[in-house]
Structure 1
Amino acid sequence: MAETVAERMEVGVRRPHSALVGWTAALVSACAFGTAGAFAKPLLASGWSPGAVVAVRLGLAAIVLLIPGLMALRGRWQLLLSQWRPLLAYGVFGGATAQVAFFNAVQYVPVGLALLMEYLAILLVVAWVAVRSRRLPSRLTLIGTVVAIAGLVVVLDPTGMVGLDLRGIAWGSLAACGLAVYFVISARPMELPPLTFVGVGLAVGTVTILIAGAVGLMPMQASFVDVVFVGLTLPWWAPLVVLALVAAATAYALGFVGVQYLGSTVASFVGLTEVLFAVAWAWLLLGELPGLLQLVGGVIMLAGVAAVQRGQTD
């Protein structure tokens, strides 16, 4: 069987064009994911629960991607059956668990700490790749791991957090597991077209979140009143459309492509830039100016990501 793109990336066989495609897709995906907080904030302020926002966001994205995705199958429906396991894992863990767990975590701990816990997924990815390949990461990869996490801690600035609730730590750990599965599953060799896989996966994730809401794991409340965003009064559905098309459909589709080209290890570190993009979007759209400490942390993070990329290449 011929090597897949992701397999070549994980073992260090890279081509300049492939790396460019992978980095471009992964960075644009992180940028798109980073818009979620800015566009979700006015909905949450108007009475929407996080669970309802996520369910609509993933559901609309699934509908958008399923149309071209199912057309790309060209009647090869048996592929869906043959790929049901990765589809289920992608939807349940990558599409639903990470988000459900994260929004539950922020009910008990500060958002910064919840983000920090979720992005510890990169350690799980590095460990998984080491176990699967039966060899330890290079020294440069390990150094880059430490540097990137240190930069993330600086950006999120979790200092001074007191009275931490263990329930928040537990939910944050579960979010990390879900995010790690997202990267690992996305790097697998795939017979399905990317849009088909992501569209069906997000549909599975939507159903999972609705079930989680039904059993009380996450409140499901919606408010159909106008929202205020960047000084404008908009209908409630406007930010939802942006969340679905940009922060879900575009982000997940390009994220899948990025992992396929870069492999799960490098892609998971590139995914850290979502935090930087989220800070930048909050500054541009909400006027929440990042501090000097966050900018310094961002530079440290990028240095760590570059070291990991270099370590995977050597």
Structure 2
Amino acid sequence: MPVHMSESSQGSRGKGAGLGLALASALAFGGSGVAAKPLIEAGLDPLHVVWLRVAGAALVMLPLAVRHRALVRRRPALLAGFGLLAVAGVQACYFAALSRIPVGVALLIEYLAPALVLGWVRFVQRRPVTRAAALGVVLAAGGLACVVEVWSGLSFDAVGLLLALGAACCQVGYFVLADHGGDAGEEAPDPLGVIAYGLLVGALVLTVVARPWGMRWSVLTGSADMNGTAVPALVLLGWIVLIATVVAYVTGVLSVRRLSPQVAGVVACLEAVIATVLAWVLLGEHLSAPQIAGGAVVLVGAFIAQSSTPAKGSAEPVAVGGPERELSGHRTSA
């Protein structure tokens, strides 16, 4: 006799799968810096590393772009927006901000994105949000301030701060556009197709910005130093392209479809924690006591937002994203 699961059980499974995908995405994104830093120290310009990352991922996803070529006709604005904001915008603004303000300040400002997502949902979409979701955002932001030790070096360069805020706004675009059309059933754009074309658009934009024809290509044929260990540069590049970009974007977009933009945004704050821990283990950059405490606060904030219940009187469970949505009939395993 077949066993039929209740709607709440299916919703819980969908939410659990979404949380797992969001954590996988944060882990994949968080590992990008550990692999990129040795390449930069070996002589590659940061923007050139970004271009290699996006262009390489675009080549990997090219077969999916060909398969979903109908999206170019059906959703051109979505593809252009995802490429400009979620891919090129976040990367370009963040690396440009680093040239003017400390890394910790830039990272903290960029990860104000979950709070901005919550503001988008509340004031633009005019949908209610729970107090728990708001509390989770506040805790995550406070924890991030400890993780990056923002007090260790502040700069009030106006252009740098605006660039970092631009990266945060572009990251809001990532979460909002990733959720776009997720509840449209069979008419929803395939998330893998959106990612594929977003990477293609991002690669084209970054080609103009980074000008890779002036890159030191010889660095890729040698090795890079990772805390005293020589690692082939191509291995690091492969990690950045396949794991920190392809896997990161795929799991990230799928998690937003199963959760909600604001919850996925809070969970994404774990990227800063993961990046710091990996830098500690692989690069010898040790964590201080405030950083460890901040990481714990980020985890608590993400958990509170993820496990929050709908606001009273809300017709739709904003904080948890509702039941599992159809992904255009496409099933993807992480």
- State which of 235, 238, 241 in structure 1 corresponds to 2:238: 241
After TM superposition, the structure 1 = structure 2 runs for residues 49-198 of structure 1, keeping only pairs within 5 Å, are: 49-71=45-67, 73=68, 77-189=69-181, 191-198=188-195
Q: Quote the Cα distance in structure 2 between the aligned partners of 1:47 and 1:113.
A: 25
How far apart, CA to CA, are the structure 1 residues paired with 2:191 and 2:96? 30
What secondary structure does 1:159 align onto?
helix
- Of 134-143 and 240-249, deviating more is 134-143
Taking a change above 3 Å as real, the CA distance of residues 112 and 262 of structure 1, as seen in their structure-2 partners, is same
Match of 1:224 among 218, 224, 236: 218
TM-superposed CA distance for 1:223, in Å, is 4.5
1:281 aligns with 2:275: no
User: Which 4+ residue blocks in structure 1 deviate beyond 4 angstroms?
Assistant: none
**C-alpha contact 2:129 2:310 (8 A) present in aligned 1:** no
Instruction: State how far apart, in whole Å, the 2-side matches of 1:186 and 1:158 are.
Output: 30
Match of 1:3 in 2: none
Contact conserved, 1:66 with 1:195, CA < 8 A, in 2? no
CA distance in 2, matches of 1:149, 1:188: 25
Deviates more, 1:281-290 or 1:109-118: 281-290
Name the CA distance, whole Å, in 2 between partners of 1:219 and 1:62: 18
**Which fold has the larger relative contact order, with Cα–Cα distance below 8 Å and residues 6 or more apart in sequence?**
1
Separation (CA, whole Å) in 2 of partners of 1:206 and 1:14: 38
1:14-64 CA distances to partner (integer Å, 9 max, x unpaired)? 811111110111101100001111100111011111111011111111111
Measured in 1, the distance between the counterparts of 2:73 and 2:309 equals 34
**Amino acid of the structure 1 residue aligned with 2:59:** I
- Which residue number corresponds to residue 209 of structure 1? 206
Q: Which moved more, 1:234-243 or 1:265-274?
A: 234-243
Q: Which moved more, 1:257-266 or 1:13-22?
A: 13-22
Which amino acid is the alignment partner of residue 210 of structure 2? G
Q: Write the distance in 1 (CA, Å) between the matches of 2:195 and 2:9.
A: 26
State the TM-score, normalized to the length of structure 1.
0.88
Corresponding letter in the other structure for 2:114: I
> After superposition, what is the alpha-carbon deviation per residue over 1:232-269, rounded to whole angstroms, capped at 9, x for unaligned?
33433221111000100110111110111111010000
- Indicate the SS of the match to 1:311: coil
1:202-252 per-position Cα deviation (integer Å, ceiling 9, x unaligned) = 1111111112235xxx99633423222353334332211110001001101
Describe the SS at the equivalent of 1:233. Answer: strand
State the shift of 1:289 in Å: 2.1
Unmatched 5+ stretches in structure 1 = 1-11
Cα displacement string for residues 69-124 of structure 1 (whole angstroms, at most 9, x for unaligned residues): 533x3xxx333211111111111011011110000111111100000010111121
The amino acid that maps onto 2:57 is A
Residues 312 and 130 (structure 1), Cα distance of their counterparts in 2 relative to 1, 3 Å cut: farther
Structure 1 pair 162/130, CA: closer, same or farther in 2 (3 Å)? closer
What is the deviation of 1:309? 2.1
> Is the 2:102–2:154 Cα contact (8 Å) retained in structure 1?
no
> Does residue 42 of structure 1 match 2:34?
no
Is 1:261 aligned to residue 255 of structure 2? no
Q: Deviations over 1:164-210 (max 9, x none)?
A: 31121011010011111000000111533222211111111111111
Deviation at 1:13, TM superposition (A): 12
RMSD: 2.2
The percent identity for this pair of structures is: 32
Match of 1:37, as an amino acid?
Answer: G
User: Are the counterparts in 2 of residues 62 and 203 from structure 1 also a CA contact under 8 Å?
Assistant: yes
Contact 1:120 1:176 in 2 (8 A): yes
Matches within 5 A, 1:11-22: 15-22=11-18
Aligned length: 296
